[in-house]
Amino acid sequence: MQVPFSQIAPPPDEVWTSDTTDELRVPIGRTGAKKLQMLAIGKGTRQHALVAGKTGSGKSTLFHVIITNLALWCSPEQVEFYLVDFKKGVEFKCYAAKRLPHARVIAIESDREFALSVLQRIDVELKRRGELFRHAGSQDLAGYKRTPGHEPLPRSLLLIDEFQEFFTEDDAVAQEASLLLDRIVRQGRAFGIHVILGSQTLGGAYTLARATLGQMVIRIALQCNETDAHLIMEDDNPAPRLLTRPGEGIYNDQAGALAANSPFQIVWLPEEERDAVLDQVNALASREGKQPPTPIIFEGNAPAEIRDNAELKKLLRSHPSARPVTARAWLGAPNSIKGPTEALFQRQSGSHLLVVGQSAERALSLLSISIVSLAAQYPPEQAEFVILDPHAYDNGDSGFFQRLAAILPHRIRIGGPAEVPALMADLSKELEARGPSSGRDAPEVFLIVHDLQRFKTLRPDDEFRFSMDDDASAGATPSQAFANLLGEGGPVGMHVLAATDTWNNVSRWIPRKLMAEFEMRVLFQMSANDSSNLIDSPAATSLGLHRALFHNEHYGTLETFRPYAMPDDGWLDEIAGPHQIARA
């Protein structure tokens, strides 16, 4: 029999009145007609919980009940959530869409690398709290909260669904995840940091150490196979094997001891009611002025959204008065908890960006957003963009680069294959005019080449051999001017952002001696051989649809990220508004 969520939700006058000083207590179901089943975490040895249940057993519903009901009973100052979902679904997406004020991190269809960064973030918080407690002379969270003038510290709840995904491979990610989970489980109890791990199965060739699982005293068993029933409870406790209906569970807070079994029925929480509760929580947070910072949201099955880039949003509302020493082109959202992935352009050799992959649309999006982010950092008179686009006239004035040219106040010149000789001749003259000192105050110039393989005149002749000692001249061919720009442009403020489809075309258009000038490289999914040729690693072969690699030779880094989706018309209208980039 289904039990409605309303039977365990707090009455209106008790919302956010829970006292979490000693422990977290929240009802999750019923053990009988009148008795509630409580989830109690934070007192004694009852610090962490392990949940096992096969598909359809009600595990996702249980997690929603825990999160939603805790958000009703406790304020964001009392409880914060780190939510990680490894399933190929969108179970936690509602908390991102509703911007749950208690949430600090919400990972939907998470990558192992991103989930690892969540553990690293919590580990940093654990160490920070340890320092606070030492200075306060406190042994636990309850004692710390009784210290006069203490910093508000909510209890932190890390909830990972299908945590076994961490251990699908015996690699560095699995090893570090195992170490971090063990430290968080063992030490977190003193600092108000609690872990709830859920999985369809607890077995497998690679898994979390049994010693770590043994520290998780609270066990919640739903319908599961005999092996998992044996793993989640003690050997002499057969109760989970007797569960027959979805939503039936066994709550046990003594590490699976038979005498501690408490059969219960999870309450039923339909999506409509859950969304209404989340709206209620948000309304309460707004009314009481308890809106914490926007949660970090990672959605592994979707491209990154440029509107989520707070740094760019801030820059678009500013009016830069001077040229930056280092300009940043934002590429996408990282697969870790850090700032956006960015290419850094400085006046030095190698300050060029190469994008390789068989997706013209993704390359166009990356180049376009790079132009906007670079333009936002320069006064209009201090930056110029020269764009070579083989499709420059395919769509008339509706082309994306043309639309950017109409919005941005900077000088932007766009040309197709026919304009390449004249544009490259102008750039060659500009390069020749700039010396180490004379070019110091000259405006920054960015040459953007979309679909490099479509520009035959930029391909070196078979007999052509570029020498770093050759001087650029007005009579240089387009391919010579391009080579000279790569070799000599960086130190005098002339940079190249080029995109092409395959390693084969990279090697045909860019002389091997000049490949080193592209210290920054973006790779989409490609063969192991092409990846190795570009970054000395086959890593790009395992990238998915919404993934890319960013390699920075100068810093020796290799970063996985989610490129930004193609901006929509609404975003273009926003950056063209009266309070955005100042027009000349």
Taking the C-alpha atoms of residue 409 and residue 226, their distance in angstroms, rounded to an integer, is: 68
Q: Whose CA is closest to 292, among 79, 127, 110?
A: 79
Q: Whose CA is closest to 417, among 454, 445, 384?
A: 454
Pick from 310-319, 454-463, 495-504: least confident: 454-463
Per-residue model confidence as pLDDT tens digits over 197-247: 999 888 765 678 888 999 999 999 999 888 888 889 988 898 988 898 999
Can you give the pTM of this predicted structure? 0.83
Angle at 131 (CA atoms; ends 128, 133), nearest 5 degrees? 110
**248-252 and 262-268 beta bridge pairing:** antiparallel
Answer yes or no: CATH 3.40.50.300 is held by domain 331-575: yes
For the chain, what are the domain ranges? 3-9+25-299, 331-575
* Helices 420-433 & 478-488 angle (0-180, nearest 10): 40
SS3 content of the chain, % helix, strand, coil (to 5): 40, 20, 40
Nearest 10 degrees: CA dihedral of 197, 201, 202, 204?
-130
Contact 266/62 with Cβ under 8 angstroms? yes
* Domains 3-9+25-299 and 331-575 are alike in CATH topology: yes
In order, the DSSP letters of 350-411 are TB-EEEE-S-HHHHHHHHHHHHHHHHTTS-GGGEEEEEE-TTTTTTGGGSHHHHHHHH-SSE
Contact 409/380 with Cβ under 8 angstroms? yes
Per-residue model confidence as pLDDT tens digits over 536-583: 999 999 888 889 999 999 999 999 999 999 988 888 888 886 334 444
394 confidence band (pLDDT: 50, 70, 90): low
Contact 347/493 with Cβ under 8 angstroms? yes
Section 38-58 average pLDDT:
93
Q: Whose CA is closest to 488, among 449, 508, 517?
A: 517
Section 264-283 average pLDDT:
94
Pick from 14-23, 252-261, 499-508: least confident: 14-23
Taking the C-alpha atoms of residue 551 and residue 464, their distance in angstroms, rounded to an integer, is: 29
Reply yes or no on whether the pLDDT at 93 is more than 50.
yes
Residue matched to tokens 């956006």: 340
Q: Is 232 helix (H, G, I), strand (E, B) or coil?
A: helix
Taking the C-alpha atoms of residue 441 and residue 146, their distance in angstroms, rounded to an integer, is: 59
Per-residue model confidence as pLDDT tens digits over 175-202: 999 999 999 999 999 999 999 999 988 8
pLDDT at 319: 82
Answer yes or no: CATH 3.40.50.300 is held by domain 3-9+25-299: yes
Tokens representing residue 240 in the block = 């989970």
Instruction: Read off φ and ψ for residue 316, nearest 5 degrees.
Output: -65, -20
pLDDT at 378: 95
Q: Is 443 helix (H, G, I), strand (E, B) or coil?
A: coil
Per-residue model confidence as pLDDT tens digits over 409-453: 999 999 999 999 999 999 999 999 987 666 678 999 999 999 999
CA atoms within 13 A on the CB side of 179: 6
Contacts of 515 (CB under 8 A, 6+ apart): 506
Q: Is 181 helix (H, G, I), strand (E, B) or coil?
A: helix
Contact 229/240 with Cβ under 8 angstroms? yes
